[in-house]
Structures are given as structure tokens and as C-alpha cells.
Amino acid sequence: MEDYIRFLAVAEHRSISRAAEALHVSQPALSRTISLMEEDLGTRLFVRTRQGVQLSEAGKTLYLYASRAVRAINNAREEIDYSLRQTDLVLRICCGDSWGFGILPPIVQRFSEDHPDVFLQVDILDHESRIQGLETRSHAIAFGVISPEVLATRAYDFEPLIKAPYDVYCDETHPLLAKSEVTASDLLSFHWINHKFEYDYDPSSALKTKRHFALRTNAILHAIGAMRGSKYLLSTAKTLKGHFARAGIVPLIEDPESPVFVSGAITARNAHLRSTAREFLSYVRTTIASG
């Protein structure tokens, strides 16, 4: 990253000497950095002129991506630094869709009413982003599933809170709702939505079924929009029943192909949970235990 920062400085100052002065490095060292980058890429990054240096065509391409990368890294550092400097009055958690839409809303509301001085932020993220949030300490707790590979690293603690198969959902006008008994073969007669919601760490699961997936989505709101008034079927968490019902999407049967998905609270093993995080987790445990 330091090499790219030096490259950007030369491009912006249009002078190796001025860039070296701004970076507080020697001019020979900076020239050497640029030479090694050009050698590595197999092309010239700058064209020397009487006025100094200017970007070559390859240099312009590198500048476009390098500037984005450096800006993104700086933004990440600022966000990490900000979250590390927060007090117990700020609590950031992340979760998957079934937690974010089906489980946490009433818990968040009750916790916020009981702790009006605490700023609580809930981010609905995919599995990989949730783990990154814990790793960078931008989030104190994650709720959802955890992949076997991540769990095997022993870098995270996982507390199972919910264990249940999925339900098959459909629009409230779906023809299968008129049947007294819906079979697995009946389900194969309709098109499905392939989603990532809670088990996005294993997309190959969609390849282990005879179901025909006509649509693919990684957002629950997109799935709801597609299902309204349609004959599509969707298999996902039971905890979304209430959220779906408000949109006219209802459970058809318990998914006969669904494995039992275990979902719960995930924390970084070497992280110290602040008092607000521990108390929020207690609210979650109590709510789930009470049904």
C-alpha cells in the first residue's frame, strides 16, 4: 500500500522531487519505488517531460484503481478508529435477514426504551461481512449462522439460540394453499427463488435439489416483491413468518428438503464485550427462551 501511496503522490505532484518532499522520503528512494513498480507491471507508469512527469496510459489506469483502494483503506481505518474510541453508550451489532427482520426488531425496541442513553445500531449484512465486522471490531455481536470453516478457526465463539428447519413460503393466493396436503412432488411443479439469506456461506446447497430456481436474490425485500401475486416458492427461516405475513406471503409447509439450521450469537473469541453488549445479549436470550 505504501508503494501505491508514493505512486499517487508522484502523479498528483507531477514531480518526483516535490512528491518526495511531501512524503518526507529521499528522491532516490522514491525513484526506486516507481522503477520497481514499472518493472513489476512490465510497462512505464510515467512519461518524463520538461515540466516534470505525467501519467502514461498504463499509469492512468493504475491511478484510477489505486486512488480508490487507498481511499477505501483510509475510510476503513477511520471507521475502525472511530468504533474503538466509542464508549458503552454506543452499541453496533450485525445480523442476517431472519434476525434483522424477524427476531431483533421487538428486542431492539424494548432495549432502546429501557436504555434511552444508548445509541444502538443494527446492520443487516451477509455472512462474510458479519465476520469481517467482528474481526475489525466495528460490530460487537453478530447474529445468524456461522460457516463450519469460520467456526473451525477457533477465532469466534458461537452460542446456538435457534435450531429449526425452514418453511416453504408462497403468496396468499398460491394454488397449493387449496390442497389439503402438499407433498414434496407438488413443490417441484413450481418455480423457486434462490436466495442467500441465512446460509449464504454454502451456495452449493442450491445444486443439491431438483427444484427449478427461476430467480436469484440476496435481499429479502427483492424476494417479497417477486413473490407478491406470483406462483414462486421460497424456503427460508420460520422467524420471518410475521414479516412475510404483512406482505401477504404465508408459510405453505415445513420444507421437506431443509436441513436443520442452527443460528445464534457470534462474538470474537478474544474480544471483551462491554456491559451494553452483554446486557443486549441477555435481552435476546430471555426473549428467545420465552418463545
Q: Which residue has the cell 478474544?
A: 270
For residue 288, how many C-alpha atoms fall within 13 Å in the half-sphere facing its CB? Answer: 21
Report whether pLDDT(186) > 60. Answer: yes
C-beta neighbour count of 244 within 10 angstroms: 24
Nearest to 198 by CA among 242, 156, 240: 240
* Residues making up the chain, counted from first to last: 291
Share above pLDDT 70 across residues of the chain, in percent, rounded to a whole number: 93
Residue 54 contacts residue 14 (beta carbons within 8 Å): yes
Higher pLDDT, 142 or 223: 142
Residue 204 binned pLDDT confidence (cut-offs 50, 70, 90) = low
Helix (H, G, I), strand (E, B) or coil at 282: helix
Distance CA(164)–CA(239), nearest Å, equals 10
Task: Identify the pLDDT of residue 86.
Answer: 56
Instruction: Reduce the secondary structure of 186-201 to three states and give it as a string.
Output: HHCCCEEEEECCCCCC
For residues 174-199, average pLDDT: 88
Helix (H, G, I), strand (E, B) or coil at 48: strand
Which grid cell is 158? 458461537
Residue 20 contacts residue 26 (beta carbons within 8 Å): yes
Residue 130 binned pLDDT confidence (cut-offs 50, 70, 90) = very high
Report whether pLDDT(206) > 60. Answer: no
pLDDT, tens only, 29-82: 999 999 999 999 999 999 988 888 999 999 999 999 999 998 999 888 887 776
pTM: predicted TM-score of the whole model, two decimal places? 0.62
Spatial CB neighbours of 92, under 8 Å, sequence gap ≥ 6: 83, 120, 121, 123, 133, 138, 139, 140
